[in-house]
Amino acid sequence: MTAGASRSRFREDETRRDSDHVSFLRHKRFRWAWAALALSLAAAAGYALIDQDPRPNGGSWYGYTLGTIGLGLILWLSLLGVRKRRINPGAWSLKAWTSAHVYLGLSLVVVGTLHTGFQIGWNVHSLAYVLMLLVIATGVYGVVAYTTLPARLSDNRREMTRAQMLDALTAIDRQLDGAAQPLARGEADLVLAALRQSPFAGGALARLTGRYPACQTARALAGMDTASEAQQRVRALLEKRAAQLAQIRGALRIQAALEVWLFLHITLTIALIAALSAHVISVFYYW
């Protein structure tokens, strides 16, 4: 590396080391929010001021312009998935991309709607429009999730990694196994059932809601007497197990909430691109 390159990296590094923790929403003082706002205002002003003949329509020259901008934006926005997985080469910042993705994506509501000229019907063109709105709606949920859930995820973690949470559960289970030896058959079976059940059992719905009606640990707790010392000991351990499970399930639930919308967002995007292809081809076919 030459001395000159090294010094420019030094300046770059010093700026970075001086950086604040600014979220993707406030990135560079809302640079992309302003850009999106400007785009929306310009599109709206054009819509209002340009005399479109016979009426505002996707087929007018202004309609084509808006359509092209919208299509370009949609294709570019969908590339975020690739960008995220390919960080080199190039000096990209994924935060800047996310910021642009969010605000320019929102501006599509304006650009797309004006492109329709408010003509909605039962056809592939309107299907594309509705799909676009759905994609944006799921995206808005994503933004809300990204701004509200991380603090809860962090609080729930209490400085433990996921592996440590599972290790803690294993440690409790080992103690439970030993402590349950003096119990009578019925109660021992309850403990065994709790130990045998995978902490992940319950399926997608349980994961998302955090409700595990078939939880054997809860069942064992309900069925455990506290007459003998052994029973008290097992009960205490079961309570510890339930608390540990609650932490693991809490982490799973928040993580699921942070990810589940992406399944819709991405699937709908693929559908949107398919519908858009049909829309564009049919428009040119019937030119």
Partner 1 sequence: MTGIFRVAIIGSGPAGLSAAAHAAALGLAHILLEKTDHLSDTIFKYQKGKHVMATPANLVLRSDIDFEAGKRETILGRWDEQIAARKVNVKLNAEVLKVEGHKGAFRIALRSGEVVDAEAIVLAIGTQGNPNRLRCPGADSPLIQYQLDDPGEYFDEHITVIGSGDAGIENALGLAADPAQRNVVTILNRSADFARAKAANVALLEEAERDGRLIVRRETEPAEVRTRELLLNTRDGQETIRCDRIIARTGSQPPRGFVEAMGVEFSSPEPGSFPKLSPEFETTTPGIHVIGALAGYPLIKHCMNQGYDVIEFLAGNRDLKPADEPLLAEKFAQLPGNRSVAEWLDIFGRNIVVLGDLSVLQLRELMLDSAVHAYQPGEVIFRRNDPGSSMFAIAEGSVAVEVNPNDPSITVGIEQGSIFGEVGLISGRRRGATVRAAEPVVALELPRMAALKLLATSPGAARAVNSIAIERQLLQMFGAGLTRADVAPLVENAELKSVRAGQVVVAEGADDKDIYIIRSGSMIVEKQVGGRPVFLSYLPAGSYFGEMAVIDGSPRTATVKAAIKSEVIRVPGDGFLALLEQNPGLRDKALQQMSARRATNAFIESRKGEFSGAVDLYSQTAQFLVDNGIGEATDVLLIDEKLCIGCDNCERACADSHEGLSRLDREAGRTYAHLHVPTSCRHCEHPHCMADCPPNAIRRGPDGEVFIDETCIGCGNCQRNCPYGVIRMDAKPPKKPSLLQWMLLGKGPGPGEAPYGWRKSEAKKQGLPEAKLAVKCDMCAGIDGGPACVRACPTGAAIRVSPERFLTYTKLAEDTQ
Q: Which is nearer to partner 1, 44 or 256 (CB)?
A: 256
How open is the CA angle 69-112-114, to the nearest 5 degrees? Answer: 100
Q: Of 25 and 242, which CB lies nearer to partner 1 in the complex structure?
A: 25
Rounded Cα distance between 41 and 35, Å, is 10
Smallest separation (angstroms) from partner 1 to the CB of 98: 5
- Measured from the CB of residue 46, what is the shortest distance to partner 1 in angstroms? 33
Shortest distance, CB of residue 192 to partner 1, whole angstroms? 18
- Listed residue (136, 156, 158, 119) closest to 70, CA to CA: 136
**CB-based contacts of 141: which residues, under 8 Å, 6+ apart?**
261
- Please say which residue, 95 or 219, places its beta carbon nearer to partner 1: 95
Q: How far is the CB of 99 from partner 1 (least distance, A)?
A: 8
Residues of this chain that interact with partner 1 (CB under 8 A) are: 1, 3, 6-7, 9-10, 12-13, 16-24, 26-27, 82, 84-95, 97-98, 146, 149-151, 153-154, 157, 159, 161-163, 171, 174-175, 178, 255, 258
For partner 1, the closer CB: 54 or 89: 89
Question: What is the CB neighbour count within 10 angstroms for residue 245?
Answer: 20
Residues sharing a CB contact under 8 Å with residue 95, sequence separation 6 or more, in sequence order? 24, 27
Nearer Cβ to partner 1 (32/47) = 32
Q: CB-based contacts of 32: which residues, under 8 Å, 6+ apart?
A: 96, 99, 100, 102, 103, 104
CB of 107 to partner 1, least distance (A): 19
